[in-house]
Amino acid sequence: MAQTLNVQLSIADGSGNLLFVMSSASYNRCMSERPLVGVVMGSKSDYEVLSAAVEILKTLGIAHEARVLSAHRTPDQLFEWVENVTAQGARVIIAGAGGAAHLAGVIAAKTLVPVLAVPIASTPLNGLDSLLAMVQMPKGVPVATLAIGKPGAANAALFAAEILALSDKELYLRLAAWRAARAQEVLEQTLP
């Protein structure tokens, strides 16, 4: 008879104190659930940055779906995905793009689910054009724009977690533990 291995995933501070424990069974359940967060990027080349968001979502046990879809190369498939992922229950969409960074705004035009935009430095202007395109949405169709690159991608996932944690107490506790672990890291830093 096949047996399922159930191990524990844990987060500890630098002194070995456990801050957060989750069984692999509940982690796998989270990952097989319908996505609460949709992550979309304009090109596979953007994944180097957007992986920072995906890693945080995995760490916090947030069900998500990540796709490559472009506002200008695959507009019909993009709209179809937005409709499907939100119909399945996604409550936040993270959209990362570099060149002609209209992806987040175009998605926001099609849904009332909050859209978090991550500018990517894949352009000759090092992402400054992407940042300005994303942050300067005309009044009426908002996107929330994060920092350029990996810090923005990671913060987009944390911001998504904060939104979801408003109505999910267990996620709130996981997020609080994650934040406490980061504080502990700072407190344990020593200077030469």
- Residues within the interface to ligand RP5 (CB under 6 A): 42-43, 45-46, 70, 97-99, 120, 122
Q: Which is nearer to ligand RP5, 156 or 171 (CB)?
A: 156
Angle between helices 169-187 and 150-165 (to 10 degrees): 140
Report DSSP state, residue 108: H
- In this complex, which beta carbon is closest to ligand RP5, that of residue 46 or of residue 144? 46
Cβ of residue 19: shortest distance to ligand RP5, in angstroms? 35
Q: What six digits make up the tokens of 153?
A: 């991608």
- What minimum distance in Å lies between the beta carbon of 101 and ligand RP5? 7
Residue 3 tokens read as 């047996």
The minimum distance between CB 110 and ligand RP5, in angstroms, equals: 18
- List helix spans (H) across the chain: 24-32, 47-59, 75-87, 103-108, 128-135, 150-165, 169-187
70 versus 145: smaller Cβ distance to ligand RP5: 70
**Tokens found for residue 84:** 């499907």
Q: Measured from the CB of residue 92, what is the shortest distance to ligand RP5 in angstroms?
A: 19
